[in-house]
Amino acid sequence: MLKKTLLISVLFLFAQISYAFKYNGITIDENESFERIKTGDTPSSLKEISGMACSRTSKGYFWVHVDDGNSEIYALNPNGSIKQTVKLGGIPKNDDWEDICMATVDGNNYVLVGCIGDNKVKDGDDKGKQKYYIYRFKEPVITGETTTITSSEIETITFTYDGLHNQNDCKDKVSHNAETLMFDPVKKKIYVATKHKKEINALYTIEWRTGSYTTVMNWECDLGQSGDKFLSLTAGDISSDGQKVLIKNASDILYWLREGEEDLSSTFNRQPQHIKAYKEEKQGEAVAWDNNNRDFYTTGEGKSVPVYTYLNTDSSTGFNRPETESFPIRISGNCLFADSPKQEAISLYSLSGQKIRSSASNTVDVTGLKGIYIVKIKEWAKKICL
């Protein structure tokens, strides 16, 4: 019995050590303040979603794109269904678009799409990929109709990198592969993080400028060190207030909290936290902060893959209501029905605990509502996505 107890203890200790996440060679803290829930599935027609960003002009939706195909972006509902298609006029056929982000500058909301991958680079190609592109345009209002952004409305930022910076696993020793595009609203900078399988990943940046132009991405800092698990970065996002940063790879998400208006190089030089709630997704290549700067979303590549919302469950948000599965919920048209046995009164709450709508019966009108809410009937509670 004693041997069995010792064996269990050793196995438990080994498991604890095995799952400890190291950054800069140091085990980092687990962030346990997020709850992961599935809110929908991506459309089967969008098989390779590799970037997402929450709309700031039409809040409650988020923008996505695929990494190879038509030069289009798509507005999705929180449940993953397509609300609107936007064609980018005059832009070459989508050649390895890898990420999308939002920027608000001088009161204008912009969408930035990064053609920053290296799909066309072959092993041994001495020239490599010489130029990369970021397409920038003012965010369209989401109306539900297919629209086109004309070429005159799109600014193109053409760039190269200022060097490899210890990236020895580049296919051609010249170009970079990257899947992370971010905008910093504090310093008004655009960031790209490289994606490498063996070497240290690096962060590059350029200043925000208006108009189309050609420039060089300058090295800002390294992300981690050799021997860390944090390789092959696939996505990242900076919150709209500039205070929080998420960067992910296939299996993990790391979280940094900025101090005041410091340069992000200082932020990244501190130890991040490891998001405990994240579970590896099928080719998970997209992450986006919600406009509330508290919750975030993820999804991956593939046909009809899940969309996940990570709700900040810190008690300061008010999200501490119990959830039960005691009654089924269905939505028909603009009405939500709760199949409770006695047709009791129903209430709809925001995640912060504010009552949004209520009804004396078990049916409530949900017209105009988008996002995640809590349905309550007596002591029962259930989260739903509209």
pLDDT 10s digits, 91-101:
988 878 999 99
pLDDT of residue 320: 45
- Token pair recorded at residue 213: 């132009």
Domain ranges for the chain, please list them: 28-317, 329-385
pLDDT of residue 350: 78
Alpha-carbon dihedral of residues 11, 12, 15, 20, nearest 10 degrees? -140
Q: Indicate the range of 50-64, 74-88, 109-123, 228-242 predicted with least confidence.
A: 109-123
Q: In degrees rounded to 5, what are phi and psi of residue 11?
A: -65, -40
pLDDT of residue 318: 43
pLDDT above 90 covers a percentage of the chain that reads 48
pLDDT of residue 237: 98
Average pLDDT rounded to a whole number, residues 106-122 = 85
Handedness of CA 194, 200, 203, 204 (dihedral sign): negative
pLDDT of residue 370: 80
CB atoms within 10 A of CB 23: 20
Q: Assign residue 144 a region (left: φ > 0; alpha: ψ between -120 and 50; beta: otherwise).
A: left
- 28-317, what's its fold? Tachylectin-2; Chain A (2.115.10)
Quick one: pLDDT band at residue 315, thresholds 50, 70, 90? very low
Mean residue pLDDT of the chain comes to 84
pLDDT of residue 376: 80
Three-class SS state of 286: strand
Residue 169 confidence (pLDDT) above 80: no
Residue 201 confidence (pLDDT) above 60: yes
- Token pair recorded at residue 100: 């999308």
pTM of the model: 0.81
Residue 105 confidence (pLDDT) above 80: yes
Distance CA 377, CA 323 (A): 11
pLDDT of residue 187: 97
pLDDT of residue 121: 53
DSSP 116: -
Q: DSSP string covering 160-216, please? A: EES--SS-TT-SSSS---EEEEEEETTTTEEEEEE--SSSPEEEEEEE--SS-EEEE
Alpha helix (H) residue ranges in the chain: 2-18, 264-268
pLDDT of residue 98: 93
Three-class SS state of 315: helix
* pLDDT tens per residue across span 241-281: 999 999 999 899 999 999 999 999 999 999 999 999 999 88
Q: 355 pairs with which residues across the strands?
A: 349
State how far Cα 108 lies from the chain centre: 21
Quick one: pLDDT band at residue 167, thresholds 50, 70, 90? low
* pLDDT tens per residue across span 29-82: 999 999 888 888 999 999 889 999 999 999 889 999 998 788 999 999 888 899
pLDDT of residue 124: 42
Residue 88 confidence (pLDDT) above 80: yes
Quick one: pLDDT band at residue 179, thresholds 50, 70, 90? very high
pLDDT of residue 173: 52
DSSP 141: P
Average pLDDT rounded to a whole number, residues 110-134 = 74
Average pLDDT rounded to a whole number, residues 103-127 = 79
Rg (CA), the chain: 22
Quick one: pLDDT band at residue 128, thresholds 50, 70, 90? low
